[in-house]
Structure 1
């Protein structure tokens, strides 16, 4: 083999140290179906799959070596020259390799979590920091116990700042991720209702989010949503705390917010000049303030921050503006949803000027626990003029329409409920003209972007 490693067969390797020299030379492959030349295949085991069964497919798609769990039998048809590294557990080996590689590269690490806005904040940080440092960020939604190690192992060897998005839905998960990453800066965007099904309450969510400090480096910094009462009691001498928000008590106090058809302008107390943001919503202004605070801690100058925010490009499906049929505007905000994020998107929709027809297309929200019906109905309080139309999709989404009718027998907005996207499509098409803006918002499993793709103007479609 050109990579010059020994074939290891018939003996257990107690640590992954024998393969450490591969990191940085080989890409990591966990999905044998995706071609990845010169890669190290890491076969993972899940509830319904065993990656070891696909070793030949991995070789066909570019694997140059593989980890192998000791107890798994070796395939008889495995090429004799193909190198295997035997480990007790391939997932733990992957996580240990990530720790080792992170220690080797030693970038400054910013860890971002929160119920809403963590991907947007990650994108903001990347847009800012790449103007001053060699920066790498979480790709897509690789933010769990597998995704975080894969992100770490994918970063270039010359990375100076690593921005890691961290997700969770159970207690203990952020502790684990934080202890892998050992962040210099930990950032909590907000506390919403995401995963309340598993964490019991918003107080439980706050407790789980605060686990991100359990791996924070000595003299590190925690950056918080300073307007969230559940985070107000956080006090410590173990690390610095920086609070951002609209309240006057915050370290970085947001002022003078202005909205235009193309984005937001805002100021931070103590800064001479305002900041421009090419996305809508007061919630995104707060994400920008949190990003500003983290970038300043890392050592980024204010002009670089201002330029990065002004030239922000968000991950697909986050308040994505699309040209719709008949000159209309479509807002794709359907990557995910919970009541907090849905209400924030509705507030932004209502504040958009220049439209006679403001249409909210809302779908099911998942992982809300036993109170999911009440939480869906609670969104109805936000469905007021200047919204003109509300269209709900799905069985849970119908609760939103039900809540609106319970508030008033004759709602001030026109509301319709459909079980499927296909049923709703003709009605939505009938609403589109040059004075229409239409928002799509639901949990990811609803795939509401399929609706917006049907409603896009031909010249802007993919």
Structure 2
């Protein structure tokens, strides 16, 4: 956070400082959690259904907090700023820091892909200056203000991911972020318990455009069924379009090619010209994410060369389509960070690009409401039609997917029994000399499928090595040559 005085903070949150004697105290960080609080932090006592930060102010004192932001009277000698609502005070403080630093800011939401797009954008903008990007899953009504509070004077750009599981959440966070460019990556069945329907998802995501600066740009997905609806939510702001799959947007891809590592190569078409792009993260869907990245970055001053270099340098996000080798027997695709229908299908699309037996290990997709059974069955059907050879499942709803596979599908009660079945498949592949065994592991956070990844890694951890072909450190030339047969070979 930037250095500010306690009086500055009190003014920003419209609070009352309990003593003038400390109004000039310099503050450089805040905390909402006494477990991670550092000496000198201002402790913001948030309240929720199952917790009350005001119960922990003495612990904050013991850990070295310099002051408090509170909405209840507490018995603590620390200087305090009294506010009506500490949750709102956190947001107001984040917004004030964002206004003070005033970086070029990009807001990103969507049902899937928003974290990957965020990392792509951050990599591109890093070619031009210091970038702050959302860390981890800090994308909700608490995480977004905390992200803004991490801004420093040297930050030229901020890339802020905004998630939601109910209406109105993005409406709130986008007003704090005030993006110069904002986008919705896509709208897919996700968090349906909170949104009610796919249209409810699209409506909630459209809230991101409410917070755009007066001269801000809305970057819209022309391939989405909700394009016209979203365009109607932009309040006559400037609109730029991108096409993840087709060639009708202002930004789109031609001459697509998926190389032997599952990574995309293509030619980016933009209003500013064309440039060859080579990605080092796998998945055909990441071509569309890269096109969107270019559209966003060029609204805040990035050049085609910045886009080319930044996308080439961007590496995989932990738990999102990370491809590695376990010895010589297994190619492992770790996509365990989260899951919804669209992201699972995208991961399957990557799995089937690899030669050799294909095994999909699938955990439950969460928060799909009354349609959960049908969506899990849909995944099983998609995997079967796509060319997956075997499907192992664990969880309550995923059984509906493995049932589609009959003899090559198996539902397991727990991770231990699942690993026993996986070892049977691995032994069969070894005995038949059909290696490597290509394995995709996918599920929602609640399914904790990273346990499966850890178990597979232990099978031959001593020989674990990244698949090397897409990991070269050499930067691309300004004009990267594309495959001549790219159009014919593209499996997208």
Are the structure 2 counterparts of residues 169 and 21 from structure 1 closer, same or farther at C-alpha, using a change threshold of 3 Å? farther
C-alpha distance in structure 1 between counterparts of 2:83 and 2:163, whole Å: 27
1:429 equivalenced with 2:427 (yes/no): no
Q: Answer yes or no: is the 8 Å Cα contact 2:101–2:151 preserved in 1.
A: no
Partner Cα distance (2:17, 2:236) in 1: 37
The 3 A distance-change label for structure 1 pair 23 and 283 is farther
**For the residues of structure 1 that align with 2:236 and 2:299, how far apart are their CA atoms?**
16
Matched, 1:260 2:256: no
Other structure's SS at 1:217 match: coil
Match of 1:455 in 2: 456
Distance 1:40 1:140 in 2: 22
Match of 1:29 in 2: 31
CA distance in 1, matches of 2:179, 2:11: 33
How far apart, CA to CA, are the structure 2 residues paired with 1:430 and 1:134? Answer: 50
8 Å Cα contact 2:16-2:83 kept in structure 1: no
Shift, 1:178, TM fit: 1.1
Partner residue of 2:490? Answer: none
Which among 189, 194, 201 is matched to residue 198 of structure 1? 194
Query: CA–CA distance in 1 between the matches of 2:222 and 2:32?
Result: 39
SS of the aligned residue for 1:63 comes to coil
Deviation, 1:232, is 3.4
The answer to whether the 8 Å contact 1:24/1:156 transfers is no
Q: Which residue of 2 aligns with 1:368?
A: 368
Q: CA deviation at 1:13?
A: 11
**How many residues are matched?**
441
4+ residue segments displaced more than 6 Å: 3-7, 11-14, 19-24
CA distance in 1, matches of 2:150, 2:5: 21
Residues 32-181 of structure 1: pairs in structure 2 closer than 5 A: 32-69=34-71, 71-74=72-75, 78=76, 80=77, 82-181=78-177
Using the size of structure 1 for normalisation, the TM-score is: 0.89
Which runs of 5 or more residues in structure 2 are unaligned? 466-492
TM-score by length of 2: 0.84
- Structure 1 residues 228-247: aligned runs within 5 Å: 228-233=224-229, 234-235=231-232, 238-245=236-243, 246-247=245-246
Structure 1: unaligned runs, 5 residues or longer: none
1:287, 1:158 → 2: CA distance?
28
Offset of residue 397 of structure 1:
0.9
Measured in 2, the distance between the counterparts of 1:269 and 1:23 equals: 52
User: Which residue pairs with 1:297 in the alignment?
Assistant: 299
Partners of 1:5 and 1:289 in 2: CA distance: 42
Is the 1:187–1:224 contact (alpha carbons within 8 Å) kept by the matching residues of 2?
A: yes
Give SS of 1:155's match.
Answer: coil
Maintained 8 Å contact 1:113/1:167: yes
Are 1:269 and 2:265 matched, yes or no? no
8 Å Cα contact 1:221/1:242 also seen in 2: yes
- The structural deviation recorded for 1:250 is 1.3
Q: In the alignment, what sits opposite 1:222? A: 218
Task: Choose 13-22 or 136-145, whichever is displaced more.
Answer: 13-22
* Contact in 1 for aligned 2:269/2:275 (Cα 8 Å): no
Check whether the contact 1:395–1:419 (CA below 8 A) recurs between aligned residues.
no
